[in-house]
Amino acid sequence: MAMNLGVIGCGKMAHAILSGLNNQSGKYGRIMVNDIDADRCQLFQKDFGSQAATAQEVIAGSSLILLAVKPAGIEPLLSELSGVITADKIVVSIAAGIKTTAIEKWIPAHAPVIRVMPNTPALVGKGMTAVCPGKRAQNEQVQLVCELFATIGSVVVVDEKHMDAVTAVSGCGPAYFYLIAEAMINAAINVGLDGNMARQLVLETMQGSVSAMQITGRHPAQLRDDVCSPGGSTITAVRKLEEDGIRKAIFDAIEAAWRKSMELGADK
């Protein structure tokens, strides 16, 4: 028998998740949604046939509840709704930085809590999601959540102590790649290529490079060395990137995102 799914927060990530579920016939029964923006609820009704309802109705009518609100909104939401959440519900949070222990504290009933960190390539079915079970979650409930997020890409189960690092690497990671792609496209235009050609060259090169790492299993440094001929253009460019601090910039960016994620969950 299909489970009923409830979604509180109808943002882009929740939309991506339901888009993946749409391709899994019979995976879930009724889908109920709630958002402070009525237009977002209408979009979900149109795209997924979901039913808009109050947050209380979403919780009461669902077996699995996806909390897809901003980190700052989790505590006020659960303070208002905790009495409606019973022990037979599975609570899944995608709020960055908010620990399972904090969510469990805000829910008096012994409901299982599972924290996840997806990323935006879920929009095209290529997401990377980390799943972290709280102390109340059983193996079959964790597996159920893994199956849910497998509809939008790859899934790994991690210890909660690593979730802030996961947020900094894969949760935020798409933005780093988009910034690099944007810079490469602009640089290509600067040296004389038209915009369409620059975009095609950069995106296909990025995709091919990722595929080479995945298929060969070789370390990126080995593959990079294969491209760097002695005294050639590539090693000249790589030297310039190193001189300008690309490695330090990436280290600093990921560490900053890691610290920010920890701050979001501090004192919760």
Q: What is the pLDDT of residues 63-98, one digit of tens each?
A: 999 999 999 999 999 988 888 999 999 999 999 999
Return the residue matching tokens 């899994």.
24
Tell me if 19 sits within 8 A of 124, measured CB to CB: no
Please tell me the CATH code under which domain 173-264 is placed: 1.10.3730.10
106 φ, ψ to 5°?
A: -85, -5
What three-state secondary structure class fits 118? coil
pLDDT band at 141; cut points 50, 70, 90 = very high
State the pLDDT at residue 109: 84
Neighbouring residues of 107: CB distance < 8 A, sequence distance ≥ 6: 78, 82, 85, 91, 113
Q: What is the mean pLDDT of residues 111-135?
A: 94
Any idea what DSSP says for residue 98?
-
pLDDT band at 259; cut points 50, 70, 90 = very high
DSSP string, 59-89: HHT-SEEEE-S-HHHHHHHHHHHGGG--TT-
Tell me if 51 sits within 8 A of 71, measured CB to CB: no
State the pLDDT at residue 19: 86
* Ranges of CATH 3.40.50.720 domains, the chain: 3-159
DSSP string, 183-211: HHHHHHHHTT--HHHHHHHHHHHHHHHHH
Q: What is the pLDDT of residues 186-237, one digit of tens each?
A: 999 999 999 999 999 999 999 999 999 999 999 999 999 999 999 999 999 9
Tell me if 122 sits within 8 A of 14, measured CB to CB: no
CA atoms within 13 A on the CB side of 3: 18
State the pLDDT at residue 23: 63
CA distance 117 to 166: 7
| CA-based torsion, 191, 197, 198, 201: positive or negative | negative
pLDDT band at 266; cut points 50, 70, 90 = confident
Q: What is the mean pLDDT of residues 130-140?
A: 96
State the pLDDT at residue 3: 81
Q: What is the pLDDT of residues 101-119, one digit of tens each?
A: 999 999 988 899 999 999 9
Tell me if 209 sits within 8 A of 177, measured CB to CB: no
Q: What is the pLDDT of residues 7-58, one digit of tens each?
A: 999 999 899 888 887 766 566 788 999 999 999 999 999 999 999 999 999 9
Helices (H), the chain: 12-22, 38-48, 55-60, 71-81, 100-106, 139-150, 163-166, 173-190, 195-216, 220-227, 233-243, 246-265
Tell me if 32 sits within 8 A of 54, measured CB to CB: no
State the pLDDT at residue 86: 92
* Ranges of CATH 1.10.3730.10 domains, the chain: 173-264
- pTM equals 0.89
Whether domain 3-159 has CATH 2.60.450.10: no
64 φ, ψ to 5°?
A: -120, 125
State the pLDDT at residue 142: 96
At residue 171, does pLDDT exceed 60?
yes
Measure the N-to-C terminal CA separation of the chain; round to a whole number of Å. Answer: 37
State the pLDDT at residue 20: 81
CA distance 80 to 72: 14
